[in-house]
Every structure is written in structure tokens, then in C-alpha cells.
Structure 1
Amino acid sequence: MDRILHVKGAANVRDLGGYVSQSGEKSAKVRYQKVIRSAGIQDLTPADQTLLAEYGVTKVVDFRSAKERSAAPDAEILQAENIFLPIFPEQTTTSAAPGTLFEQIQAGLDAATQMRSVYRHFVEEAYSRQAYRRFFEILLANEAPDSGVLFHCTAGKDRTGFGAALVLAGLEVDRQTILDNYLETNPNLTQTLQQMLDQAQKEGAPDYLLAGIKDLMAARADYLGESYAAIQEHYGDVAGFFHEGLGLSHQDLLDFRRLYRE
């Protein structure tokens, strides 16, 4: 089954189903049509909206800031509840919003350094941890077998990428597979990146800005590695992060696996 959902009005729309989960000597597969990651969905066509509704999406979780959400409201998916769940507080010096990050590059900040900081903040920022806990609460409440949750940010890369990594880790998918899923964003955003570069060149952007755009729009192993490093420093391992960082109980994780594994 193809994990990519071929919609015209959104990029990087992927089902997290089909990955093999390993618990001791037992293995299982992540269920299809239960949890879907995506870039922004403000430009969905009517056909896209129908496709996602028929695919079973009943909840949309929007990780963007209020500013991003106001500038580009989500297109509606029939009968789907839309949940606003910003990963960072409005008043913060850390942002994963592409527009804000681009402004910081223009102000002289290094793009890759910014990105590594963002990925540490997913773990170290109490507000962000609470948001990801709420995300798991939404997933745990999604008990109907034919009900799917779509979650997204703007590029579907960072806030969404870390969220996807947590979902797969919670389902006991191995770290290399999680990284592979994360890096699949790159070919899926090729067209988006090229459009941004073309527009920047048209406006006369210098080389350092073009390089910064590439760093901002990339999914890189060292970015996600910063999250893992922060987890190890503060919680020991991912299991510790689930229990101490997100406040998920052993029973929560058992229930999560029951819902999202075959």
C-alpha cells in the first residue's frame, strides 16, 4: 500500500502505516489510515478534500502558530474536527515557522544553527512538551478503527517531523526506520524548495540567503539528532521522555500500541 497520499493541494502527505514495530520477539505493523502527516493543507482542492474524507480523516491537528494559521487557514475536510495545537507559545524567541526563520537569516543568524536549536526546544521547552502530550491524548482518544488523525505544520518537516518520530517511537519502530521516514521529506519538498529559491533569486537574494533557504527547508539527520541528544541529556532515553517529559503512563503506551498496530 502506498504511504504517499496523492493530493494536488498539499505536499508531503504521508500515512505512517505499514512500518514494522518490534517488541521483544514479537513484531507487528503500524495500521494504515490511522495517522497521517502533512505539510500545510490550506490549498487543498475539492477533490483533495473528498479524498481525505474518504480516506477516513476525522481529526486535523494544526501545529502552526496563530499567525501562520490566520494567514493560511486550513481547508476544511468534511466531518473532520480541526484542532489548533501550536507547538511553541506565541511569545517566544524560538520558532519553527519558515517565515520567521527566514527573517532571522536576513538578520544574520545561521540557518542550520537555528534549526538545531528548534529541535532541542521540542524537548526542552515545557510548552512544547505539553503540546506533544496533548497530541498523544488526541491520538489515544481516536479509538474508532476507521477514524484517522492528520497532523501538520507549514512544511510538514520539523514540528510534524518530530511528532512523526514520537508516534513511530511510541509504536516501537526502530530509530533507523524513524530517521528514514523523517528524511523522506526531502524529495517530497523538492518542488516547494525550488519555488522558494526561484522567487528569492528573482528578488535578488544573495548567495548566503539562498544557502540559508536550503538549510531551512532540509530534513537533516543532525537536526533530529539534536532532539535525541536533548532527550538523552534530560531523560536518559526515549522511554524516559515519554514517561517523564510527556507524562505518558505505561498503560497509555500499551493503549496507544493497541490502537495503532495490527
Structure 2
Amino acid sequence: MTTSPGTSIPILSVPNLREIGGYRTREGATVRFGRFYRSTDLSKVTADDAARLAELGLVTVFDLRTLSERDVAPDRAPMSAREVPLDVLADKVGGSMVAQMRALMEDPSILRRYLGDEQAMDLFRQTYRDLIVLPSALASYRGMFTHLAEPEALPALVHCTTGKDRTGWATASLLLLLGVDEDDVFHDYLLTNEQLLPSFKQVFDKFAAAGGDPTMLELVLGVRAEYLQTALAQMRQSFGSIEGYFTEGLGIDASGQDTIRTHLLEG
């Protein structure tokens, strides 16, 4: 059983799998264990790992990927779980690098040919702003959090393709709503670099063999505090606070917010 917040759940075919339980809030409560998980997509779950994944008792799986991402790599979710597709980036004009992760993993030379370090970072900064203001993003996160206000939706798991950007904001905004200190929110967010990047060793090796700089690939396949800071700055500019984001942006009133806290906090 997981006893410390952010501990990796070692299911090899589902990297970056962890839960949010164990984090303390500023009011002295604790986020419940076994209620909310985050991961990469579930398209590569092996037969052996399927049994281990089923042990989590998932009732709901929130899939934040685009329709094309889901079509290319459909989830192998546990039979117990209802899948809820929520296309965060549906309204992104011209597409998004975040939605092209699978293509980049298969052919990282695309990145080397077309993007420099600063250009890649600029694209991610814009994506994180989009996560806050795109109508499709607001509708998708509204859908997720509305479900989390229903006790029968838990335990739940949220994922995108690599479980770091769209999923990163889903988790960060939830932890902030629960009252977890921002330093711990960043800690959870940055754990992706420890728990996800090692699974991309072959991608990094291929990129380096083709003459690419692995540092550039880390900007795309990993996370940086600056990306989440960009989302928080946009959230405060647009809505003032995390409560304002939920009330004005997502249409979840104070009562709904308190219900989510009741379901996910103890003590």
C-alpha cells in the first residue's frame, strides 16, 4: 500500500502512474489514499499488468486526449471502469505539440528539424495558457470535476498521452482546490521527470544517434516548473484564484467545490 505522496505505482506498461493521496492541506487535512490516480494513456497495458491495474478498483477513467489520439491508441481500461473522453485541446487551432506526443516519440527527428529550444518552450507556454482559457479545456475540466463531485465516480484515474501536461493541470488544479500548498503541487507535478523520462530511454538514444540534443527532447517529453507557473499566471489573470477558476471558469460553485473536498479529504 502506498504510504507517501507521489510514490510511483510500479506497473511497467503504465509509466508515470501515481496517486495524489497523502498530501497535507494548509488546514491540516490529508488527501485520501486510493481515490484519485494519474498516469500515461492505457493503450499499452499488458495482460499481466491488467490484473495489477484492476486492483486499484477504478470506477472512472478520464481520457483527456484528442479524438485522433484515442483512435490511434485506444485505452485498455479495467472492465470495472467507465471511460469518460474529454478532449481538452479540441478547440486548439492548428493543433498542439502536446497532442503530437506519440508522433514525436516515434520520430523525434521531427523536433530537431523544426524546433529550437526556445521555440519548443514558447509552444509549451502557449499550450499551458490554452489549458486555462480554451473553451474545450474549460468544458473538459468542468466535466471531470463535475464527476468528482459524485461519490460513485471514485476511485478515478486521469490521463492524456504521457500524463504530464493536460493531466498535470488536472492534478495541480485539484490539489490546489483541496488546499494543498503550492510547493507540494509543484513537487507532484515535477515527479513526472523522475517517473516518466526513464521509460523514454530508447527514444532519447534514437534522438542522440540522429544528432539531436537530448536536452531539447527533455523540454518536450518532460516537464518544467515554468510550464506550470505559466498556467497559474494565466489562471490568476483570468479568474483571480483557484476558487475563481472553479466558480467562473468551470461553473462549479462553492457547494460543488466543498463536495469534492469532502470526497477526497480526511482529518
TM-score by length of 2: 0.88
Identity %, equivalent residues: 30
Alpha carbons 2:91, 2:135 under 8 Å: kept: no
What code does the residue aligned with 2:57 have? G
Is 1:11 aligned to residue 15 of structure 2? yes
Structure 1 segments unaligned to the other structure (5+ residues): none
Instruction: Give yes or no for the alignment of 1:117 onto 2:126.
Output: yes
Query: In the alignment, what sits opposite 1:73?
Result: 74
* Other-structure match for 1:194: 201
Distance apart, 1:200 and its partner CA:
2.1
Among 212, 215, 219, the alignment partner of 2:219 is 215
Shift of 1:14: 0.4
In the aligned structure 2, how far is the partner of 1:255 from the partner of 1:122?
A: 24
Instruction: Give 1:227's aligned amino acid.
Output: A
Q: Which runs of 5+ in 2 are unaligned?
A: none
Partner of 1:178: 185
Matches within 5 A, 1:83-232: 83-89=84-90, 92-95=93-96, 96-97=98-99, 98-99=101-102, 103=110, 106-108=113-115, 110-143=119-152, 147-202=154-209, 204-207=210-213, 210-232=214-236
Check conservation: 1:65, 1:86, Cα contact below 8 A: yes
* TM-score normalised over the length of structure 1: 0.90
Task: Say which SS state the counterpart of residue 184 (structure 1) adopts.
Answer: helix
Q: Please state how far the C-alpha of 1:58 moved relative to its aligned partner.
A: 1.4
Give the letter aligned to residue 118 of structure 1: T
Partners of 1:47 and 1:7 in 2: how far apart? 9
Instruction: Report how far residue 99 of structure 1 moved.
Output: 4.2
2:61–2:77 CA contact under 8 A, matched in 1: no
Q: 1:141 to 1:106 in 2, by over 3 A?
A: farther
CA contact (8 A) 2:26 2:181 kept: yes
Instruction: Give the distance between the partners of 1:125 and 1:100, measured in 2 at CA.
Output: 23
CA RMSD of aligned residues (A): 2.0
Deviates more, 1:39-48 or 1:170-179: 39-48
